């Protein structure tokens, strides 16, 4: 039985703009809901009637529309075959399986719903055909359509909950996350936290997660009752740990091309200020990925390197449940190559996002290959639980947009505000340019009278030029020209675009080269 029903298939079918096709989509989704009921009630006759009605509607589409909508039909036929096989009607089950042309060898060969067919010559023949059509997952990924960087769908903005949200602050304090992260650069801190989550909770992909899906509750239940989490549960925990530690992060559902394949993988991606990009972190396999120079890579970069056959290096200590070492071939070229065809992220990265609550609405954005994508839609249960809004894009720049406070424009805005208040000799206004974290640390970053003192020494701030981020620590470097002097100014920003670190006069061999224009 395929566990991802047509509601999910709907996600990957290309955008259908014809009115007749939209009507078919709506009809197919209604049939899907009814077909799921027929499966649960073991009603093969009911499933067959639903499939026949679906095919009548499908047959009215144009040839082009039928090609785009075939997944609706093959999925329904395959599920009907499963219902007949469970009911013991071997002949009908084989007939519907053959009509489905669902040639996913890896799925069909192990589907428990079809066990009653395994000795049948027709099933063996069907399986042989499926095996002959099998291609490597890496080949499927390499043959995927290109992204469309010109597509400009109207999407909601990704958001990241502040680390001082009470539950995140409680998580940080309870598990002493600052100490676990350590005091190195952001890359070493994010790796330390990922390893901590991997070692804290065992993974078991065959079991679900507890109903309450937040880090505090999941860690507590697993430690108290010896429970495990699947990859989604681990990615949720790590994501909330990152948010609590002050990072901007998301958990990412990595999906295969085949909508009937119910195996996917969920990892976490985190924005590194040092590297100025998103970075791949997988708590299930304690894994991150590098290029030939040892630079950490993003999900987008790993996907592109798999497609273009460029070098990839898996961290040497990548392993499953701290016992089974992982290899690049198994982890990247087989498993993740299959699961990097489509990507999905929640719009809001926040604590307790996926715990079901009445009237709670969640939103997700899917990144899909291809030139056009479907319109947004909402999936909702009648009881008001798990209402989900889905959006779609083929533009990776929209999907991987830089978090708030991290774009070049954000840095330019911050230094522009600083310059205005500096030239107006306004200490209090300058203090407002700084992140609230300075209050958290108990520091008064800009004492009264400091602006006046600096102006007497350096004069008015005339101009500034952004030189780029320092490779050593990711601090954005500006060349700032005053009336009487020229300085290198370094800064990082928080998620609100306020100064998180600020070096009025900073230097190093690298910065000296940047200032000299070399």
pLDDT, position 61: 84
482 inside domain: yes
For helices 90-100 and 121-132, the axis angle rounded to 10 degrees is 20
- Give CA–CA dist 100/79, Å, rounded: 9
Same domain, 287 and 325: yes
Same domain, 130 and 38: yes
Phi-psi region at 309: left, alpha or beta (left = phi > 0; alpha = psi -120 to 50) = left
pLDDT, position 88: 92
pLDDT, position 8: 35
What does the DSSP assignment read for 108-141?
Answer: HTT-GGGGGGTT-HHHHHHHHHHHHT---HHHHH
Tell which wins on pLDDT, 299 or 108: 299
pLDDT, position 21: 55
pLDDT, position 4: 41
Same domain, 229 and 125: no
129-167 per-position pLDDT tens digit: 888 877 788 888 999 999 998 888 889 999 999 998 999
Q: Which domain holds residue 216?
A: 159-349
Mean pLDDT of the chain: 88
pLDDT band at 23 (very low <50, low <70, confident <90, very high): confident
Provide mean pLDDT across the span 486-499.
88
- Give CA–CA dist 379/386, Å, rounded: 8
Contacts of 125 (CB under 8 A, 6+ apart): none
**Is pLDDT above 70 for 65?**
yes
Provide mean pLDDT across the span 451-477.
89
**Of 302, 329, 349, the domain-final residue:** 349
331 inside domain: yes
pLDDT, position 3: 46
Same domain, 419 and 472: yes
Q: SS3 for 152-188, per residue?
A: CCCCCCCEECCCCCHHHHHHHHHCCHHHHHCCCCHHH
**Of 85, 118, 134, the domain-final residue:** 134
pLDDT, position 20: 54
Same domain, 109 and 208: no
Tell which wins on pLDDT, 276 or 242: 242
Count of CB atoms situated within 10 Å of the CB of 99:
16
**Is pLDDT above 90 for 30?**
no
Same domain, 126 and 164: no
pLDDT, position 22: 62
Same domain, 214 and 284: yes
Same domain, 312 and 188: yes
364 inside domain: no
**Is pLDDT above 50 for 11?**
no
Total domains present in the chain: 3
396 inside domain: no
pLDDT, position 14: 35
pLDDT, position 443: 56
pLDDT, position 169: 95
**Of 316, 349, 382, the domain-final residue:** 349
394 inside domain: no
Q: Give the CATH number, domain containing residue 260.
A: 3.10.620
Same domain, 440 and 506: yes
494-512 per-position pLDDT tens digit: 878 888 888 888 888 888 8
**Is pLDDT above 60 for 189?**
yes
Provide mean pLDDT across the span 422-430.
92
pLDDT, position 426: 92
pLDDT band at 465 (very low <50, low <70, confident <90, very high): very high
Same domain, 505 and 453: yes
Same domain, 329 and 230: yes
197-201, 211-215, 395-399, 406-410: which range is least confident on average?
Answer: 406-410
Of 137, 131, 375, 95, which is closest to residue 258 (Cα–Cα)?
Answer: 137
Q: Give the CATH number, domain containing residue 456.
A: 3.10.450
pLDDT band at 15 (very low <50, low <70, confident <90, very high): very low
**Is pLDDT above 80 for 5?**
no
pLDDT, position 444: 65
312-363 per-position pLDDT tens digit: 999 999 999 988 999 999 899 989 999 999 999 999 999 999 998 888 999 9
232 inside domain: yes
Instruction: Tell me the CA end-to-end span of the chain in Å, nearest whole number.
Output: 62
Q: Are 186 and 272 in contact (CB under 8 A)?
A: yes
**Is pLDDT above 60 for 51?**
yes
pLDDT, position 34: 85
Same domain, 175 and 130: no
Q: Are 315 and 192 in contact (CB under 8 A)?
A: no
pTM for this entry: 0.72
C-alpha 294: how far from chain center: 23
pLDDT band at 517 (very low <50, low <70, confident <90, very high): confident
**Is pLDDT above 50 for 17?**
no
487 inside domain: yes
151 inside domain: no
pLDDT band at 12 (very low <50, low <70, confident <90, very high): very low
pLDDT band at 248 (very low <50, low <70, confident <90, very high): very high
């Amino acid at each position: 039985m395929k566990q991802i029903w047509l509601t999910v298939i709907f996600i990957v079918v290309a955008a259908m703009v014809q009115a007749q096709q939209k009507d078919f989509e709506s009809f197919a989704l209604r049939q899907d809901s009814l077909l799921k009921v027929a499966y649960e009630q073991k009603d093969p006759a009911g499933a067959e009637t639903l499939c026949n009605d679906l095919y009548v509607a499908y047959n009215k589409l144009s040839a082009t529309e039928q090609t785009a909508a075939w997944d609706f039909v093959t999925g329904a036929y395959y599920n009907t075959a499963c219902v007949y096989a469970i009911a013991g009607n071997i002949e009908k089950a084989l007939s519907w399986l053959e009509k489905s042309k669902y040639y996913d060898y890896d799925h069909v060969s192990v589907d428990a719903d079809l066990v009653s067919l395994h000795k049948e010559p027709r099933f063996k023949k069907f399986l042989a055909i499926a095996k002959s059509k099998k291609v490597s997952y890496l080949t499927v990924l390499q043959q995927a359509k290109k992204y469309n960087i010109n597509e400009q769908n109207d999407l909601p903005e990704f958001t990241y909950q502040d680390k001082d949200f009470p539950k995140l602050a409680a998580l940080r304090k309870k598990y002493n996350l600052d100490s676990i992260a350590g005091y190195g650069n952001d890359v070493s801190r994010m790796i330390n936290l990922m390893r901590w989550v991997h070692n804290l909770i065992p993974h078991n992909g065959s079991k679900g997660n507890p109903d309450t899906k937040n880090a505090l509750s999941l860690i507590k239940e697993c430690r108290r009752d010896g429970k495990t989490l699947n990859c989604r549960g681990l990615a949720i925990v790590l994501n909330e740990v990152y948010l609590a530690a002050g990072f901007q992060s998301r958990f990412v559902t990595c999906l295969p091309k085949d909508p009937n394949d119910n195996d996917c993988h969920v990892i976490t991606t985190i924005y590194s200020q040092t590297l100025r990009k998103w970075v791949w972190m997988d708590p299930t396999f304690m894994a991150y990925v590098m290029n030939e120079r040892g630079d950490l890579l993003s999900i987008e970069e790993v996907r592109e390197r798999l497609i273009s056959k460029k070098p990839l290096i898996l961290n040497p200590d990548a392993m499953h449940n701290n016992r089974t070492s992982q290899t690049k071939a198994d982890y990247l070229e087989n498993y993740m190559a299959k699961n990097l065809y489509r990507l999905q992220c929640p719009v809001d990265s926040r604590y307790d996002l996926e715990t079901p609550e009445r009237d709670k609405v969640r939103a997700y954005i899917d990144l899909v290959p291809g030139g056009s994508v479907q319109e947004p839609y909402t999936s909702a249960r009648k009881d008001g639980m798990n209402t989900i809004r889905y959006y779609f894009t083929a533009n990776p720049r929209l999907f991987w947009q830089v978090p708030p406070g991290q774009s070049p424009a954000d840095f330019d805005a911050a230094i522009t505000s600083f310059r205005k208040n500096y030239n107006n000799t306004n200490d209090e206004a300058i203090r407002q340019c700084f992140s609230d974290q300075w209050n958290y640390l108990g520091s008064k970053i800009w004492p009264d009278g400091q602006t006046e003192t600096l102006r007497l020494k350096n004069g008015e701030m005339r101009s500034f030029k952004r030189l780029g981020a320092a490779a050593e620590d990711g601090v954005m470097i500006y060349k700032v020209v005053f009336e009487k002097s020229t300085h290198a100014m370094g800064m990082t920003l928080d998620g609100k675009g306020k100064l998180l670190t600020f070096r009025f006069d900073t230097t190093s061999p690298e910065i000296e080269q940047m200032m000299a224009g070399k």
